């Protein structure tokens, strides 16, 4: 399975796919809340579960740091709804 990297300074989670990169971007709204606003997987890398992998890693990060998540990215919002163990993180 591909390894997700967390670039804290760049506020993003990434995973390599061939010569490209899939990404989940976020911003800190305040000291308690993260906004996950964009997930992008290049077309040639889709249908490999990379977006799910990014969402899971990003949500686990929020959980481990006691942060709430405002999922303005439709994919993260849908992922949280399908994976109910993350609903308690929703801001």
Q: Residue 38 sits in a domain of what CATH number? A: 3.40.630.30
Q: pLDDT for 22-68, tens place per residue?
A: 999 999 999 999 999 999 999 999 999 999 999 999 999 999 999 99
Average pLDDT (6-30) is 96
CB 1 within 8 A of CB 42: no
Secondary structure percentages of the chain, helix, strand, coil, to 5: 35, 35, 25
Q: Please tell me the pTM assigned to this model.
A: 0.94
Q: Across-strand partners of 54?
A: none
CB within 8 A of 39, min separation 6: which ones? 22, 23, 24, 25, 51, 54, 55, 73, 75, 76
Whether 18 has a pLDDT exceeding 90, the answer reads no
Distance, in Å, from the CA atom of 72 to the CA atom of 46, rounded to the nearest integer, reads: 21
Q: What range does the domain containing 22 cover?
A: 4-89
Q: Which of 12, 15, 59 is nearest to 41 (CA)?
A: 15
Domain count, the chain: 1
CB within 8 A of 20, min separation 6: which ones? 42, 44, 45
Q: Check residue 48 and give its pLDDT.
A: 94
What is the pLDDT confidence band of residue 2, given thresholds at 50, 70 and 90?
confident
């Amino acid at each position: 399975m591909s390894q997700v990297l967390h670039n804290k300074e760049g506020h993003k989670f990434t995973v390599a796919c061939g010569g490209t990169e899939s990404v989940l971007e976020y911003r800190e709204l305040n000291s308690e809340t993260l906004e996950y606003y964009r997930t992008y997987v290049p077309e040639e890398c889709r249908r490999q579960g990379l977006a799910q992998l990014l969402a899971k890693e990003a949500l686990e990060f929020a959980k481990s740091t006691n942060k709430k998540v405002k999922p303005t990215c439709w994919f993260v919002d849908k992922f949280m709804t399908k994976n109910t163990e993350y609903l308690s993180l929703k801001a």
